Structure 1
Amino acid sequence: MRPHGERWRAIYACDPGKSRGRLFPEADSPTRSPFQRDRDRIIHSTAFRRLKHKTQVFVYHEGDHYRTRLTHTIEVSQIARALARALGLDEDLAEALALSHDLGHTPFGHTGEEALDAEMAGFGGFDHNAQALRLVTRLERRYAAYDGLNLTWETLEGLVKHNGPLLDAAGQPTGRYRDEGVPGAILDYCRLHDLEIATFASAEAQAAAIADDIAYDAHDIDDGLRAELFDLADMRKVPFLGAILSEIDRLHPGLERSRVIHELVRRIITRFVEDVIGESERRIATLAPAGADAIRAAPHAVVAFSPAMADAEAGIKAFLYPHMYRHPRVMAVRREADQVVRDLFRRFVADPGLMPAEWAADLTGAGGARLARRVADYIAGMTDRYALDEHRRLFDATPDLR
C-alpha cells in the first residue's frame, strides 16, 4: 500500500518524500505528507479565511451569487486537482498552490493592488505575489517556533514562480518584472532560502497557474452575464463562445437563459481542461523529463494550452476587458475603491497610532520605507468590509461602492 493513500505519480512529478524541506526543519508527520501539511496550514491561516470577504471583481455586497476571492480559490483548486490527477502530478501540492495563489491580494481586487502600488512607489512598490510570500513566511504569526507557515521549498517556489521564471538566463528581470525589477521581498527571502527564480516552477505549480486562468475566464463570464454587464448575444461575436452557444441551441432549443449560462460555463471549463491535458501530455512526451527538476529546467512551460486554445482564451480575455473589467458600472466602483485605499494609506502613514496596537508597535519615530511597508501590510490584509469600516471610522464620508 502506498504511504498516505498516494495515487500514481509520474516520474516528473514532485515527490513529497524527496522534498527539499523547510526553512526551519521539522519532524515528519506520521499521517500526512509534507505537501498535505502545507495545504492544511494554508487552509487554517488567517489570510485564507479573509478571502471570503475580498472582491474578485464585484464588491462583497453587490450580490450573494458573485465570486469572492474564496469561491474563486476553491474553483481553481478543483481544476488544479483535476489536471494534476490526469497528468500524474502530486495533487496535494497542486491543491496547496491553488489555495495559496490569491493570499496576497488586497481588498477591492486589482483596484486595491494598483492603489497600494501607487502609494508605495517610492518604497519598493506593492505586488500581490510578493505579498503572498510575505504572508506565508513572515506575517502569519501562529507557531511558537517561527513566523509564517514554514511551508516546503516546493510550495514556496510554486507560489512565487507559478507564472514562470522571474529572471532570465542573464539574471535580468523578466515578464511582469522586466520594467520595475523583482520585488525586494522575494529577493530578500531568496537570500535565506533560494527559490531558484531563474527557472520554471514544478508542473504542479504550472497546473495551478493555468487552472487560475481557466476559472477566471469561465466564471467572470458567468458573473458578467448574471450582472447583465453584457448578454449572450454579445458573446456570439467571439468565435469560440459563439460555437459553444450554437451547440447548446442545437442540443437544447428554447432552453431558459439561466441554464444556457450554466451550459456555456461548464463547456468552457471542459474544453479548456481537456485541451490542457492533451497539450501537456504532448509537451511532456517531447521533453521526456527524468524528474521534476527537468520540468524546471525546460525552456518553456510544459502545462499549457494548445496554440489554438491559447488563441481562444486570448479572445475571451479580449472580450471581457471592455465588456466587464472596464464596464462603466465596474469602473465607477473602482474609482471609489481606489480612493478608499489611498485615503487609508495616507492617514495611517500620517498617524500610525490609528492602526491597532500590534500594527502600530515599534513605529514611534519611524518613517520612510519601514512605516510605509507596515501600513501596506495592514491595508493589504483587510477585507472589503473592514476597509470600508475603517474608512468610516476615520473619515466623515465613505462611498457606498454600489
Structure 2
Amino acid sequence: MTTPTDLTEKAQSVADTHPAHPEPAGVSIHGLSKRYHAGAVALDHIDLDCPAGEITVLVGPSGCGKTTLLRSIAGLEQPTNGSIRIGGHDVTHTEPQRRGVAMVFQNYALYPDKTARENIAFPLRMARVTKAERNNRIDAVAQLLRLEGLLDRKPAELSGGQRQRVGIGRALVRGPSVLLMDEPLSNLDAQLRVEMRAELLALQRDLGTTMVYVTHDQVEALTLGSTVVVMNGGKISQAGIPEQVYTRPENAFVAGFLGGMNLIDGHVDTRHLISGEARISLPRHLHSFHGRRITLGIRPESLSRGRASDDELGATGPVVLTELLGSDRMIHIGGYSTALRMREEHHTPVGDSVAVRADAADIHVFLPDRDGERAQLP
C-alpha cells in the first residue's frame, strides 16, 4: 500500500508538472438559499466558511441539502438568494468552468468508450492544453494515484476503486483551487472504503488542495474533516472541528446522528428522569430540572456496569437485545422511551437485568421545547 512518504514525493511530482498550479482557495457562503418552484426548500439561509487548504465535510441524512450545497459551489445549481465567494471573488453567477473548481461524482461519470488516459485527459482537451503538457500532467497524476499500468483500459475493465481513482485523476489534472467530492466512496466495499479514505486524506494533506466533501457516513466525516458540517432540513445544525462536534453536540439531532448517542425522553421528578415505565437516577446537578421535560443524552461507550453514586447517572433494566460488533458487543437495555445501548466486552443473555452507571461529566441534556437545543447545565 502507498505510504505517506510515497504520496509526498508523488505530490511534489504533480506540483512540479503544474508550474501554474493555483494556490488553494477558501470558500465563503453567505445567506445561501435554494427554493424550487413547487415550494420545496433545499437550502435555508446557509452561512459557511471552508478554509483554504483544508477538508470541509458536509454530512447529514438523505435530503438534508448537502449535495445541493456542493452543486451550488460548483455552479451546477443556481441559488435563489445569497452569495458564494471562492478565493475572495464572488462567483455566485459565474459559469462553472470559470470558478477554478473540479468535481468528483458519486457514480464516477466516466465515458465508457474512452480509456482511463482519455477520461483523465478530457478536461485538458476541452481547455486546449497542448498534447505534451496533457501527457505530462496525466502521467504525474497516474503515478500519484497508482494508475500507471491501467491508463489504456476502459472503465469496464477496471475495478470500482480503480474507476474512482480515474474520476479523482480527471479532477486533479486540471489543477483546481477547490476540489468538490460528492460521496465518492459510497459505491466501494467496506475494506476498500477504509483504504481509499486513508489515501484521500494523505493526498489532500500533501497537495494542500481545498476540499469540500459530501458524505452520509459519520465515520468518514469524523476521519476526513478538518471541519465537520452537520446538515438537516436544508440548514446547518452544527459546524466545527470533529472533536468539538462529537463531544459537545449543540442539539439532539447532532448528538444522535454523530456517534449514535442514547437519547432518552422523559420528565424530571426531583432526583429521577421518568421515562416510559422506568426511572433513571440523576446526579445532583440535574435536580434543578425538576418538573421539566428533557432529553437525556449519554454515549454507549460512557456507560459501565455498576451501581451509581449520588453524583452519577444510574439505570437498571432487562437486556432486550445483544449485538456482536467484533471485538465487543452492544447490549440494549429496555424499559425506557428508547432502549439504552451500552458497549461491553462480554456476552450478556437476553432477559438478564443489569445496572449501569455514567459519570456526571459524560451526561448531555437537550430541551424538546426548544427544538432539542443543548441545555446550559448548572
Taking structure 1 as the reference length, the TM-score comes to 0.24
User: Which protein is bigger by CA-based radius of gyration?
Assistant: 2
Q: Which has the higher helix share?
A: 1
Q: Which has the higher strand share?
A: 2
Query: RCO higher in 1 or 2 (8 Å CA, sep ≥ 6)?
Result: 1
Taking structure 2 as the reference length, the TM-score comes to 0.25
